[in-house]
Amino acid sequence: MKKILAVLALCLMMAQTAMAQSVVVDGFGTDESAARKDAARMAVESVAGTYIASRTLTENYAVTLDEIYAQAQGFVTGMEVISSENTAQGWHVRARVDVNDSPDSALMSRLNMVALLNNPRIAVVVMKKEPEQLPLLSQSNVSNRYESSTAHDVLTEQALNDQLLEVGFTHVVEANQVARLQNDELLNSIYRGDTGLVAESGNRPIDYLVLGLSEVHAYDINLPDGKGGYRKTNMKSAGADLSLRVVDYATGNIVATIKTEGKGVENSDSLAENRALKDAAAKAAVKLEEKFKKTAMKVHQGVTVTVKADSLEKVEMLAAKLREVSGVQNAILRSFNNGVGVIDVESAQKPHVLVSGLKGMGLNIFVSSVSSSELKLTLH
């Protein structure tokens, strides 16, 4: 039995080691504790740096990295202090640090998702559906302002915003700061799946819109009175339904739908309803994270650029310029026939971002159409 336990313990140790990358780093601080924290940060920076070196990331990614590094100790699975001394410059610790870099670890999950999705701007809008209300939002108001439309569900919105920030998205936009997201008619159209009212190219305040509808009802809790009937108690029960649609704001396409239910019991209608909404929001937040992870895995499929030009040299020049755009891994010229060239672009960038990058290089281009995976333009 002892031999079996010893073998199991050894296997467990090997499994733990396999899930962590060990690095030797130096940490500095005003005391030993601060120096150890600095060593943890340096170790996480080392592991993340290896990951980042193999990818082209946008400049705002540095902000996300700073937030990840600030939580470095949460990604460390072990630390062996090799030496520790108090010097004239402060405490110095040299340590071997194990950083969890398994594919499903918290660190790699954050790095992968934010990198692949290019840290998009996300806004969450959740509106309350009244029992007698049939459409998503009130269509009788013409001012298109939140204060004159159906109330939005601040509680659920905040819960979802907090989860997105926790996962690693740093560009979570407050919906009330975006004028277009205060437009009842626009939100109704997007929720129904209409694509005609999405933002015009170059005027997109966000990349993804999480648009939701919540409905909650409170009920009396009655208990048997022992006489064949029921007596009303002071407690209330509530049930909440939450429906979310994740919309790619560049195209208006719905990339994910989420539905959850929540329950709550309290001593008043409002408290029971709030508890039920929090329960539904917590479940939706988990599903929302999963949906964005799946979106991240699909996003890196590339873009096909079809370009009209009067010479092969111009198309080759365009391919070269595309390789210089931030977020582009490669641009390969596939064909050029009758003044039309086809370029395959390996990039996590959206087509409209590629256009902005090219125009920033001074190229004289005219865009004829943009979709989620194709860009058609004319090069003069």
172: nearest Cα among 119, 134, 214:
119
With 70 as the cut, is the pLDDT of residue 4 above it? no
Express as a percent the part of the chain with pLDDT over 70: 66
What CA–CA distance (Å, rounded) separates 354 from 198?
Answer: 19
The amino acid present at 290, given as its one-letter code, is E
pLDDT digits (tens, 9 = 90+) for 207-218: 788 988 899 999
Residues 109, 115, 119, 122: is their CA dihedral positive or negative? negative
DSSP state of 361: T
Answering whether pTM is above 0.85, one says no
Q: What is the pLDDT of residue 201?
A: 42
The amino acid present at 343, given as its one-letter code, is I
Neighbours of 18 (CB within 10 A): 9
Burial of 152 (0-12, 13-18, 19+ CB in 10 A): buried
What CA–CA distance (Å, rounded) separates 291 from 256?
Answer: 7
What CA–CA distance (Å, rounded) separates 189 from 210?
Answer: 14
pLDDT digits (tens, 9 = 90+) for 301-348: 578 889 999 998 899 899 888 888 877 777 888 778 888 888 888 776
Length of the chain: 380
What CA–CA distance (Å, rounded) separates 170 from 63?
Answer: 8
For the segment 76-99, the average pLDDT, to the nearest whole number, is 88
pLDDT digits (tens, 9 = 90+) for 185-232: 677 676 766 655 454 444 567 778 898 889 999 999 988 888 888 888
What CA–CA distance (Å, rounded) separates 267 from 132?
Answer: 25
**Torsion angle of alpha carbons 185, 187, 191, 194, nearest 10°?**
60
Summary count for the chain: helices (H), strands (E): 9, 13
Q: What is the pLDDT of residue 165?
A: 80
Q: What is the pLDDT of residue 214?
A: 92
